Chain A
Amino acid sequence: MKIAVCIGEGPYNHEAADSAYHFIRAALDRGHQIQGIFFYHDGVHNVNALMEPPQDERHMANRWSALGATGIHIVACVTAAKRRGAMEQVAHVELAGLGQLAMMTIQADRLVCFGD
């Protein structure tokens, strides 16, 4: 199945992005295809290249970057990112418009949203 994922909450403060990450890993393990991952609202902070968590904690942005390096299309909403001053993304993450969310939703079999 082709799955699109939308994440609407920021890192560390909220479990949404962690849940999404574990869901995506589990879906890939089961042979599903991830059509794309879209970060919206405060979710854009998840791929902020400037984050620097303590070394003994999970580095959430690098985790997404590693997923992106495998070829999964990862997008942070440019309008949401500009509002929040989060314009520097980790590698393998694209900054683009809501049209990307529209396209991945239309092209996927399922859209799964993580947030409040």
Chain B
Amino acid sequence: MRTVLTDVKKIMCTVRRAPHGSIYVQEGLEAALIVAAYGAEVSLVFMDDGVFALKRGQDTQELGTKGFAAAYGALMDHDIQCVLVDRHAMAVRGMTEADLLSIGQDAETGELRWPRVVEAGEIAALMAEQHSILSF
């Protein structure tokens, strides 16, 4: 069901936990997709241990879990354009931009899309514009 809203609300979903030790990130991404499907302007921000959720080459096979890499591919389908990752959180965890996974392809050009690495100040400014923030 898709509801058309005249007043588009900005809703941010933050991912702050590591990806596979608990279900928060998986269920959080599910929530972000649905909130976007209901017409909100969703931004998705990875910070703290959540930056690990964007590490490329994740393989959950030996954990015996399904993993949720498919959710990233669905971000573009749900028009979630704003996917940010906190530069400082990456740095203190030894991650560089080369470690990031792609978040899908541009529908028209087929070009790979990537999370945008930003400073904490930019995240804070964006938070201040939000109607609501969901934290996972």
B-binding residues in A (CB < 8 A) = 4, 6, 8, 40-41, 79-80, 97-99, 101-103, 105-106, 108, 110-111, 113, 115-116
Count of B interface residues, CB-CB < 8 Å: 21
**Known A-B contacts A106-B5, A106-B9, A113-B134; A99 and B27 likewise in contact (beta carbons under 8 Å):** no
The reply to whether A41 and B132 form a contact with Cβ atoms under 8 Å apart is: no
Partner of B35, one of A101, A108, A110: A101
> 26 A-B contacts, Cβ less than 8 Å apart?
A4-B132, A8-B24, A41-B23, A79-B30, A80-B27, A97-B34, A98-B35, A99-B34, A99-B38, A101-B35, A102-B34, A102-B38, A102-B40, A103-B3, A103-B38, A105-B9, A105-B35, A105-B40, A105-B134, A106-B5, A106-B11, A106-B40, A108-B132, A111-B134, A113-B134, A116-B24
The reply to whether B37 and A102 form a contact with Cβ atoms under 8 Å apart is: yes
Q: Is B60 an interface residue (CB 8 A)?
A: no
